[in-house]
Chain A
């Protein structure tokens, strides 16, 4: 396991600059979420960390090692793709074990690791199936399983939940959070969904047009955005209202799934804010219309 450092990282496609100097320190075991509008470079940045895109300038280090010129397979990273990218001709078992097989892991060790991963993700009964025989949520599990068996230093997620329906997304969010806790791994997660960002992240990195606008804990971004863009990314419906009226409060019922705001809470939250993942606010009274609609689409 290792942390990650980005030092004035640049990326150009021909003449067009896409990433314009990103500096970032990610600690071991941190859950970092990149948010931003589409085209802001968040996926590109993730792919540069993975080694799927060349780095035009600057340095990317994983642990203490500069990995600019290291092949993706030697970087110690695993990635979960938005499209899942499962191998259609292999069973779930072989999909999960493909990386281990390539690494020459002995068969019995491989088997154990695959079954352990399947157990963690509750997909033991799916091991013999082909990806085409799985639902979206099941495919997602397989993709995550493929990442965890290799015990990488860093997990990379590229909008992994965006192809799932709303209810399943909430479940998977919870599961990812649990996984992060259990594996104690460094995870970097790309999304454009601020609910996902707020519920999962230790650190949120807000990107705009290839630059980091602000990086910090969800609450610090929420309470103290550096500019209107960050405020709009994190609390889009709050713009134009006096911030003091709004205060986050933890949701005792379901800390991971509901990101709600309390319009009436003038008092301090009643439950301790233990890390951002539990810092989601809840209603003191009946929720306003926009919030229920928002929760339904999240």
Chain B
């Protein structure tokens, strides 16, 4: 092996530093989570007697099992439908739209420029008018809509890159538009659909503002949203709060470890396609 040059050593040093900076808050949380109850740990030293039971207690008081189920229900309600609609709309805008209606796509791009926070107040009144406040639908339905600009943009970009010859070959082979979509376009779009699924999953799972505003009952929220309620209730018990937060983080981290390669691919794709 070649001896590393000073530059690579510096680069590696910086990476290690960055890693430490990223991990430090979590380690600090962990040390605080292991402190005995009733203390106010500063999070800078490892407790002499680590209280692993704090995690069990946090799991119980936060009703983590119910929260997991609630989060899963919300993700299952949002992601498949959003991905399906985005895929179909992306195909339609990329392959079925004549020159005259290309501007339709701009409406979706316009949606990308709207900050989420700007629509939260009108959204509240709308959800209330629909009588959906305090149900999971108050999270699911708005999220599907809010993901459309990005989802459609993402899938359209993919379908534009599929050579037109394939569409024509399928047509000559006897495929209707619908069959071409199902049998040719969707299988080819699998990488794009996978990355979109992963991104939407992540955003839904980490959804905080929407559940906090639209749903009062923490048990109907996503895990991250429930953290808000947890904090209000147990804000003075720092070890318990830290343990609970770490538990809420855990599913995302586990999923990331399992789907590491797909995650990175999804993010890289975003980098290239801009």
Contact = CB atoms under 8 A, between A and B. Distances in A.
A41 B168 CA distance: 18
Interface of A: 50-52, 71-73, 77-79, 81, 83, 85-89, 98-99, 102-103, 146, 150
Contacts of B169: 79, 81, 85-87, 146
A85 B168 contact: yes
Contacts of A88: 188
Contact of A99 (B163, B168, B174, B184): B174
Given A85-B165, A87-B184, A98-B183, 9 more contacts: A50-B168, A52-B171, A52-B172, A73-B174, A79-B172, A83-B165, A85-B166, A87-B169, A102-B179
Contacts of B168: 50, 52, 72, 79, 81, 85
A102 B173 contact: yes
Given A83-B163, A85-B163, A85-B166, A78 B172 contact: yes
Considering residues B166, B172, B175, B184, which has the most beta carbons from chain A within 10 angstroms of its beta carbon?
Answer: B172
Which 4 A-B residue pairings sit nearest by Cβ, starting from the closest? A85-B165, A99-B173, A85-B169, A73-B174
Interface of B: 163, 165-166, 168-176, 179, 183-184, 187-188, 190
A87 B176 CA distance: 16
Given A73-B173, A73-B174, A87 B179 contact: no
Contacts of B166: 85, 87
A79 B167 CA distance: 13
B173 A98 contact: yes
A51 B190 CA distance: 29
Contacts of B179: 102
A103 B165 CA distance: 20
A50 to B, nearest CB: 6
Nearest to A81: B165
Contacts of B190: 89
Contacts of A99: 172-174
Nearest to B165: A85
Nearest to B166: A85
Contacts of B163: 83, 85
A73 B175 contact: yes
A72 B187 contact: no
A289 B170 CA distance: 46
11 contacts: A51-B171, A73-B173, A79-B168, A85-B163, A85-B165, A85-B168, A85-B169, A98-B183, A99-B174, A102-B173, A102-B175
A15 B176 CA distance: 30
Contacts of A73: 171-176
A98 B171 CA distance: 11
B161 to A, nearest CB: 12
A244 B75 CA distance: 82
A50 B173 CA distance: 11
A11 B187 CA distance: 35
A236 B188 CA distance: 45
Given A52-B168, A85-B165, A102-B179, A146 B173 contact: yes
A102 B172 contact: no
Contacts of A77: 172
A146 B170 CA distance: 11
Nearest to B188: A89
